[in-house]
Amino acid sequence: MSYSIAEAASRSGLTAHTLRYYERDGLMLAGVDRSASGHRRYTERDLTWIELITRLRATGMPIREVRKYADLVRTGDGNEAERLALLVAHRERVEAQLAEVTAHLRAIDHKIGIYEGKVEQARTSA
Amino acid sequence: MSYSIAEAASRSGLTAHTLRYYERDGLMLAGVDRSASGHRRYTERDLTWIELITRLRATGMPIREVRKYADLVRTGDGNEAERLALLVAHRERVEAQLAEVTAHLRAIDHKIGIYEGKVEQARTSA
DNA sequence: GTCGGACTTGGAGTGCACTCGAAGTCAAGC
DNA sequence: GCTTGACTTCGAGTGCACTCCAAGTCCGAC
């Protein structure tokens, strides 16, 4: 079972453009298979990999670092500790940012509360 | 009490470049005061405002929309309901994104768990 | 056999948010 | 009165991550 780039795009939520761009940029583990006519054929493994790098991207990992991770996985032998370190460092950054965003959000919520009071007051005194 | 652009930068965590850029781009409520020599003088009110827009930016609000909000506040009269709507819409986007990032993070954590197992296994069998 | 549509490539273009550079002004200290 | 350093403006440059375009190929359907 394999998928055309359009199918891979719809399954991954990325665009075909982005899939080609990722491949060109070294984010895939290997060149994607080709049909006799030269069209890309995505395997389940490709899609699983794309799902992972989509998660990394969606949590703010730069393309550069996703590539570094892909390089490690591609090398394939005993660099699991290195991969682990990269992912753990990423997790810590993401957690820190979640905390920061949450704190900002609380402050914005406070502001919203003030406006709600004002708007309500305007409504009842009208 | 007022502050030079360098002081405002260090108090806000932005750079002087960014402060000028924000002003140019219509993010400030009014032109910042100037000294006799034409240097900017930031008031406490300016800094309070900068703190708010920094929170909006840090939670992912585009410059464009911060400007829209600033425009509303600048107009100043009875558009509180509109400001409220803008902030509430933003809050909902941020909350949705927090949930999404958290979900991705959990999946990445799962991956980390797998690597931890592998690395531990490699360590003990060595 | 020709048409439409999905694909290919390489390279250029876009949008966002800064970030920097050049050239000039100004006040204070030596 | 000259240097130093912080400021000014305007406009150009940067980095990131796509996003799009042009020109071409290929395949299945009519």
How much is the average pLDDT of A40-63?
A: 97
How much is the average pLDDT of A15-30?
A: 96
| CA distance to partner chain A, nearest, from residue B40 (Å) | 27
3-state secondary structure of B2: coil
Q: Which residue reads 């370190």 in tokens?
A: A85
Q: Are A63 and A24 in contact (CB under 8 A)?
A: no
Q: What is the pLDDT of residues B54-112, one digit of tens each?
A: 999 999 999 999 999 999 999 988 899 999 999 999 999 999 999 999 999 999 999 99
- Chain-chain contact of B59 with A88 (C-beta, under 8 angstroms): no
Asked if A6 CB < 7 A from strand C, the reply is yes
- Residue B30 CA to residue B15 CA, distance in Å, equals 19
How far from chain centre, in Å, is Cα B102?
Answer: 20
Q: What are phi and psi of B39, to 5 degrees?
A: -75, 145
How much is the average pLDDT of B50-54?
A: 98
B4 CA, C21 C1': Å apart: 22
- Residue B18 CA to residue B78 CA, distance in Å, equals 31
CB atoms closer than 10 angstroms to residue A4: 14
Give B-chain residues touching A90 at CB under 8 angstroms.
108
- Residue A5 CA to residue A17 CA, distance in Å, equals 9
Asked if B41 CB < 7 A from strand D, the reply is no
- Check pLDDT > 90 for residue A124: no
3-state secondary structure of A27: coil
Kindly indicate the confidence band of residue A40, based on its pLDDT and cuts at 50, 70 and 90. very high
- Residue A30 CA to residue A95 CA, distance in Å, equals 31
**What percentage of chain A exceeds 70 in pLDDT?**
99
Residue B78 pLDDT: 85
Kindly indicate the confidence band of residue B1, based on its pLDDT and cuts at 50, 70 and 90. confident
C1'-nearest nucleotide to the CA of A38: C8
CB atoms closer than 10 angstroms to residue A24: 9
Residue B126 pLDDT: 65
